Each structure stands twice: as structure tokens, then as C-alpha cells.
Amino acid sequence: MERPTFEAMLEAAPGVERDGDGCTVADGYRMSVYIGDPGQAMEVPEVAELRLQAAFCEVTSREHQTVYFVEYSSLHGLCVRPPSGAGGRRAGFS
């Protein structure tokens, strides 16, 4: 993927707050970034922060405060999950 495509995805993602070349994930939201090729992607779970550099992206995971340095061409996608218990009724017993 190219940087402009990744930036457009971040702009559209709920719970992602952009500040210049940095992005943070709002409290309660959970983001994962997928690295690799379709069908062979690795998930980087619990992303807390992203920093967009000219040639690569720094991805900081909440798990052990691990930082991944990833070329844009290796980014495959992202997933944002809203806070649990975000309202609405669910099927089942109460």
C-alpha cells in the first residue's frame, strides 16, 4: 500500500485521532495493523500509536510497548474495534 492510501484509511477510521504525522487510538478503541501480503499477513494487535515517517511507519503496540518499523509497501490493512458495551441491544438472555 502507498502512504496516501494508508493516510486515507486512518482518516476514515473511528477512534483514531490525528496530530500531524502522528496518530493515537482513543481510549476504549482497539486497533490492529496487518503487515504482509494478502493471505499471509501478520497482525500487530493493540496499536496505541502510529507515527508516519517519509519512507516507513512506526507502529507502537500496547503489548510490551513494542515498536514496529514498517515500510508502507508491507502494510496490508487495519482494523478498529469500538469500545465494548457501546450500547445497543444484543440477542440473548438478560
Dihedral sign for Cα atoms in the order 87, 88, 91, 94: positive
Global confidence as pTM: 0.81
Mean pLDDT of the 3-8 span: 94
Instruction: Please answer whether residues 92 and 60 qualify as being in contact, where contact means their C-beta atoms are separated by less than 8 angstroms.
Output: no
Mean of per-residue pLDDT scores for the chain: 89
* Residue spans per domain, the chain: 3-81
What percent of the chain shows pLDDT beyond 70?
A: 89
At 65 the pLDDT is 86
